[in-house]
């Protein structure tokens, strides 16, 4: 539906490029989180921004399957020179997981942190494993997303084609 909302493939490509511009480390946090929300919707996931909407929960939240969610905490303003993920950032992720447990009983929540570091500081102890989208991962995701939308040019869109292309570009969960 999102793709069909554009009058041309060129208009779609321009919109995707605008979203990709928001997804860069050192971009203003609200703009970055808006980009995460927009690209989630663009590739077909129901999304929310709980912290912005209610003051509680993660920065971004994607439903990636029937009872499966990504709980996304964005730390895009953290300096790339910092050597690790801090105790405070891990605490924030733990709070997000508590929020998820309260509202999504019986569902699977996958914690994801967008952060330039991949190692933990010595005083940071997560309550469960989580994914880290560091700069390299973010750039790879952006490239795959752009290639996915470019590959739709001239195609007759169907659910089967979209699912095939999402898999082809590693954008399915």
Q: What is the pLDDT of residue 80?
A: 80
111 alpha-carbon distance from chain centroid:
11
Greatest CA span in the chain, whole angstroms?
53
- Residue 173: pLDDT above 80? no
User: Judging by beta carbons within 10 Å of its beta carbon (0-12, 13-18, 19+), is residue 66 exposed, middle or buried?
Assistant: exposed
**End-to-end CA separation in angstroms for the chain:** 19
pLDDT tens for residues 134-159?
A: 999 999 999 999 999 999 998 888 88
Q: What is the pLDDT of residue 168?
A: 95
């Amino acid at each position: 539906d999102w793709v069909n909302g554009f009058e041309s493939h060129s208009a779609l490509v321009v919109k995707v490029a605008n979203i990709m511009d928001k997804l860069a480390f050192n971009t203003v946090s609200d703009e970055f989180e808006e980009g995460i929300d927009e690209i989630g919707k663009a590739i077909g996931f129901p999304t929310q921004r709980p912290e912005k909407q209610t003051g509680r929960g993660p920065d971004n939240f994607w439903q990636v399957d029937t009872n499966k969610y990504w709980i996304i905490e964005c730390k895009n303003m953290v300096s790339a020179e910092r050597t690790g993920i801090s105790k405070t950032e891990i605490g924030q992720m733990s709070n997000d997981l508590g929020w998820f447990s309260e509202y999504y009983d019986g569902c699977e929540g996958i914690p994801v942190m967008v952060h330039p570091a991949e190692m933990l500081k010595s005083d940071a102890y997560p309550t469960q494993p989580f994914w880290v989208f560091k700069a390299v991962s973010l750039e790879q995701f952006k490239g795959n997303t752009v290639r996915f939308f470019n590959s739709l040019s001239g195609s007759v869109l169907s659910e089967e084609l979209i699912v095939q292309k999402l898999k082809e570009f590693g954008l399915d969960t």
